[in-house]
Structure 1
Amino acid sequence: MGFDILSLALIFCARVLDVSIGTFRIILVSRGFRNIAPFLGFFEVLIWITALGHVIKNLNGPVSYVVYAAGFATGTFIGMKLDSLISIGYQSLRIITTEKVTALPLTLREEGFGITTVTGRGMKGEVMLIYTTVPRKKVKHVLEIVQELEPNSFITIEDVRSYKSGFVSSGGFMSTLGRGAVKRK
């Protein structure tokens, strides 16, 4: 039983490519970037049909099934990595600190982040809540500032599907890709 190495390589690469595109497409849709999804979906299915055609030609070899599945798994991994590398979209951070007087709000504002502060009551007394919405690629910078100034803060991070008015720091081209579907007026 001979295997056509070129066909197996094509099956694997096609699955990696189409599943990477599919994973990334689903992530974009879930974040509200719907403008680009149909375009990506077209190429995803075109590549998938090519891969499936090669698998059907090699029905006598279970190796092609394994290669097909391995391409799927690899494509899923690459799609998720692509999402974290490109960092499209926005995230909201909720920072809770027990310090009554802190340099954190001032520092975040000086760094260009729009923030809202609220005084609240936690389990052990008064707390300060700081809310901000930033491009995903700037979240790491905010976390570094918080770690430096208030290392014991409690922080939650959530994806933002849409927002309406207010001040959101600019994230450049990639954070505004498909912004018409994200920013609500």
Structure 2
Amino acid sequence: MTDFYHSELFSYLVLPVLIVLARISDVTVGTLRIVMVSKGQKKIAPLLGFFEVIIWLLAMSKIIQNIDNWVAYVAYGAGFAAGNYIGLILEEKLAVGIVQLQIITRTNADNLIAKLKAKGYGITYHDAYGANANEKVAVIYTIIKRVDIPEVIEIIRTYNPNAFYSIEDVKFANKGVQPSVRSVERFRKGK
């Protein structure tokens, strides 16, 4: 077995694959840790940081032990790049946190407002003026869970397809309307 660890097969194939996998793991965990820090998740972020550093130390120790192996360097870089990509995909799928949607419509927003309210989204709206001083617009604000973004965008596209909207991350919101919580309560009550 000792001969295998010193063979070219191990040095130029197995070791680089292990380094790629380690880097994918630690960078993916690191990406998720950064997201958790930005979302104020004080308990999860340090735990992720612990595992991120342990995995990184294991990968770096193998790089140092094989300092003359250029394939290990390429594997290290490839793992880093892939880890960033996978971490971002995972973060998008997890959809942790809340966002603020600001919707600006040139046309009558009554149907859009009614549909958002009917779906349980808390909204605030007011009339305003657009780019042209004579152009009246409606401005609608709502704070929603990131996981609900596709549903709200579909409502916007259905009821006001030319509306302008922007989405911003929100670290914290006090009180408010939470349709997901109410939906769970309705389900439990059998409604």
Task: Indicate the TM-score class for this superposition, using the shorter chain for normalisation.
Answer: 0.7 to 0.9
Deviations 1:20-60 (A, max 9, x none): 00011101211222221000000000111111111111112
> Could you tell me how far apart the structure 1 residues matched to 2:166 and 2:109 are?
21
> Could you tell me how far apart the structure 2 residues matched to 1:161 and 1:63 are?
42
Paired residue secondary structure (2:101): strand
Q: Shift of the alpha carbon at 1:2?
A: 2.6
Deviations 1:151-185 (A, max 9, x none): 1101010011111122233379xxxxxxxxxxxxx
| Aligned: 1:157 with 2:167 | yes
Paired residue secondary structure (2:179): coil
Instruction: Name whichever of 67-76 and 30-39 sits farther off.
Output: 30-39
Q: CA RMSD in A?
A: 1.7
| Aligned: 1:106 with 2:111 | no
Q: How many residues align?
A: 172
1:141 equivalent among 144, 151, 165: 151
Deviations 1:85-120 (A, max 9, x none): 111111110001112353011100111111111111
Deviations 1:73-95 (A, max 9, x none): 11011100000011111111000
Paired residue secondary structure (1:163): coil
| Aligned: 1:10 with 2:21 | no
> Could you tell me how far apart the structure 2 residues matched to 1:110 and 1:101 are?
14
| Aligned: 1:26 with 2:34 | yes
Q: Structure 1 counterpart of 2:122, which letter?
A: G
Q: Structure 2 counterpart of 1:85, which letter?
A: K
Whether the 8 Å contact between 1:92 and 1:132 is mirrored in structure 2 is yes
Which entry has the higher C-alpha Rg, 1 or 2? 2
Match of 1:177 in 2: none
Among all aligned residue pairs of Structure 1 and Structure 2, give the percentage whose two residues are the same amino acid. 40
Give the TM-score of the pair, scaled to structure 2.
0.85
Q: How does 1:40-59 map to 2 (within 5 A)?
A: 40-59=48-67
2:131 equivalent among 123, 128, 140: 123
Greater RCO (Cα-Cα under 8 Å, separation 6 or more): 1
